[in-house]
């Protein structure tokens, strides 16, 4: 988690550039800004990192998902297939687009599976919102085959998987649109921020307009601009963009260190009989922000978690009981508790959210424990943590033997 690990002279320099001019707004003010355009530079840096033709920075990863959906033409009444294991923003974005979330099965990649998507398709299915979870990537060959066969729109929420790729193509660039989060807990942070990416010029222009009240951003007189579409304010400020820019430049270094640490941990912990890891469809494309351990069953995972707590091992997530990454705890969604009516209430839920049958997802998340990997770990921190994890797992296995 770069934001919490690395914050230094590079970030301060980019912020200071903005403070020198006092122009905190990303558009206009050409005469006063002394050619400082941090949002634009941030977008170029992200586009370069992932190999995208276009990138548009916004105020958060959540608003980036909204832009990605809108720019891909997903809206009122569309059924959108989503995973039951994701940061809840993905599901919220579908709901606030006026669309209807349909939950489908994930598999050991921790992402929607091709089979899960196929089973959830109905005549009303318009799109799949594929979420690349825990720094890894979905099995794109299998998923693209289903998307193409059924003529669906693919939108990727790579909120936690920027800088991950599958067979050389970055997460976020397989779909019509994709997006990344730069909140404080991602591989790079802007404090708060997000970036929508696409190789499609029309989608890019739509996102650019949509994220700023529909402004077309042509010319340098904001009051005289045209409005090709209705939009809203999802803008990023120059200060946040400045941080995001400096952080994005650190990502190749972070990814390399993360991968080195993850490989060591997998080699060591893999020696324990019964310990497996989430499937990596492309092991060379991992952003390695998480070590994703799969234990033989939920019972053993729960025992291991208890041992971690007892032995003072920290830095892990047991998503099965986590309040906002897993559907078992999303009572507000299941019960339709909303501030104001959405299309789920108006048109009716496409599934019985209270009685979903997702056994593969349940058993997979029940077995999963994810450790945040730090690029800044020293060798001794890495070996010490790894042996503590091993000891806790081994004693859980002995307890249940
Ligand atoms: C973090 C995250 C988001 C939301 O990003 P914010 O910047 O916190 O709004 C969306 N989707 C996924 C998968 C995420 O992990």
pLDDT at residue 190 tops 90: yes
**pLDDT attached to residue 85:** 98
How many C-beta atoms lie closer than 10 Å to residue 119's C-beta?
11
Distances (CA, A) of 144 to 151, 200, 320: 10, 17, 28
The span from the first CA to the last CA of the chain, in angstroms, equals 36
Q: What is the pLDDT of residues 258-289, one digit of tens each?
A: 999 999 999 999 999 999 999 999 999 999 99
Q: Which of 38, 53, 167, 186 is catalytic?
A: 186
Angle between helices 238-269 and 38-50 (to 10 degrees): 30
Among 1, 65, 172, 289, residue to substitute to test ligand 1 (most atoms within 8 Å of Cβ): 65
Q: What is the pLDDT of residues 306-319, one digit of tens each?
A: 999 999 999 999 99
Half-sphere exposure of 323 (CA within 13 A, CB side): 1
- Average pLDDT of the chain? 97
Burial profile 43-65: b = 16 or more Cβ within 10 angstroms, e = fewer: bebbbebbebebbbbbbbbbbbb
Among 112, 129, 181, residue to substitute to test ligand 1 (most atoms within 8 Å of Cβ): 181
pLDDT at residue 157 tops 90: yes
**pLDDT attached to residue 266:** 98
pLDDT at residue 173 tops 70: yes
- The pLDDT of 321-339, averaged and rounded, is 94
The three-state secondary structure class of 130 is: strand
- The pLDDT of 2-23, averaged and rounded, is 93
pLDDT at residue 401 tops 80: no
The three-state secondary structure class of 364 is: helix
**pLDDT attached to residue 86:** 97
Q: How confident is the model at residue 253 (pLDDT cuts 50, 70, 90)?
A: very high
Cite the DSSP H helix spans in 28-122. Answer: 38-50, 61-71, 89-96, 114-120
Bridge-partner residues for 153, per DSSP? 127
Residues with CB under 6 A from ligand 1: 60-62, 65, 86-87, 89-90, 131, 157, 159-160, 181, 183, 194
3-state helix, strand, coil in the chain (%, to 5): 45, 15, 40
For residue 186, the ligand 1 atom closest to its alpha carbon is 1
Distance of alpha carbon 319 from the chain centroid: 15
Contact 391, 397 (CB under 8 A): no
**pLDDT attached to residue 197:** 98
CA nearest to 157, candidates 171, 139, 143, 140: 171
**pLDDT attached to residue 15:** 98
- The pLDDT of 74-103, averaged and rounded, is 98
Q: How confident is the model at residue 57 (pLDDT cuts 50, 70, 90)?
A: very high
**pLDDT attached to residue 3:** 65
Residue with CA closest to ligand 1 atom 7: 61
Cα separation of 392 and 369, whole Å? Answer: 12
The pTM of the full predicted model, rounded to 2 decimals, is: 0.97
Q: How confident is the model at residue 2 (pLDDT cuts 50, 70, 90)?
A: low
User: What's the gap in Å between 379 CA and the centre of ligand 1?
Assistant: 30
Residue ranges and CATH numbers for the domains of the chain are: 2-250 (3.40.640.10), 251-322+361-400 (3.90.1150.10)
Distances (CA, A) of 181 to 131, 156, 188, 240, 330: 12, 12, 8, 13, 21
Q: How confident is the model at residue 400 (pLDDT cuts 50, 70, 90)?
A: confident
Distances (CA, A) of 113 to 130, 138, 142, 178: 9, 7, 8, 18
**pLDDT attached to residue 1:** 61
Q: How confident is the model at residue 129 (pLDDT cuts 50, 70, 90)?
A: very high
Q: How confident is the model at residue 21 (pLDDT cuts 50, 70, 90)?
A: very high
Contact 139, 109 (CB under 8 A): yes
**pLDDT attached to residue 4:** 75
pLDDT at residue 146 tops 80: yes
Cite the DSSP H helix spans in 270-318. Answer: 298-310
- The question of whether 124 is a catalytic residue gets the answer no
Among 82, 159, 192, 319, residue to substitute to test ligand 1 (most atoms within 8 Å of Cβ): 159
């Amino acid at each position: 988690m770069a934001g919490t690990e690395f914050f230094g002279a590079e970030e301060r320099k980019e912020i200071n550039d903005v403070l020198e001019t006092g122009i905190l707004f990303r558009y206009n003010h050409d005469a006063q800004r002394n050619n400082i355009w941090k949002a634009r530079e941030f977008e170029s840096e992200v586009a370069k990192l992932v190999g995208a033709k276009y990138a548009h920075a916004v105020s958060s990863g959540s608003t980036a998902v909204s832009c990605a959906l809108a720019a891909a033409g997903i809206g009122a009444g569309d059924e959108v297939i989503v995973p039951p294991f994701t940061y809840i923003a993905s599901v919220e974005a579908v709901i606030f687009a006026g669309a209807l979330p349909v939950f489908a099965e994930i598999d050991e990649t921790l992402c929607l599976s091709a089979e899960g998507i196929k089973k959830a398709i109905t005549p009303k299915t318009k799109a799949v919102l594929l979420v690349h979870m825990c720094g890894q990537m979905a099995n794109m060959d299998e998923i693209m085959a289903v998307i193409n066969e059924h003529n669906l729109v693919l939108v990727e929420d790579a909120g936690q998987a920027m800088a991950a790729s599958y067979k050389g193509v970055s997460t976020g660039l397989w779909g019509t649109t994709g997006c990344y989060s730069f909140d404080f807990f991602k591989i790079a942070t802007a404090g708060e921020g997000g970036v929508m990416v696409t190789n499609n010029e029309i989608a890019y222009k739509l996102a650019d307009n949509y994220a700023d009240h529909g402004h077309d951003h042509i010319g340098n007189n904001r009051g005289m601009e045209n409005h090709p579409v209705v939009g809203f304010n999802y803008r990023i400020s120059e200060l946040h963009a400045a941080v995001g820019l400096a952080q994005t430049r650190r990502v190749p270094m972070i990814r390399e260190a993360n991968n080195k640490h993850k490989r060591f941990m997998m080699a060591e912990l893999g020696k324990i009989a019964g310990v497996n890891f989430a499937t990596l469809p492309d092991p060379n494309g991992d952003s390695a922000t998480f070590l994703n351990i799969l234990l033989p069953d939920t019972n053993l995972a729960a025992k291991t978690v208890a041992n971690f707590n007892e032995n003072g091992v920290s830095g892990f997530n047991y998503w099965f009981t986590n309040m906002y990454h897993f559907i078992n705890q999303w009572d507000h969604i299941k019960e339709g508790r909303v501030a104001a009516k959405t299309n789920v209430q108006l048109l009716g839920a496409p599934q019985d959210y209270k009685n979903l049958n997702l056994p593969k997802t349940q058993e997979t998340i029940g077995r999963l424990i994810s450790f945040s990997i730090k690029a800044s770990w020293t060798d001794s921190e890495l070996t010490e943590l790894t042996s503590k994890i091993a000891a806790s797992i081994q004693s859980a296995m002995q307890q249940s033997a």
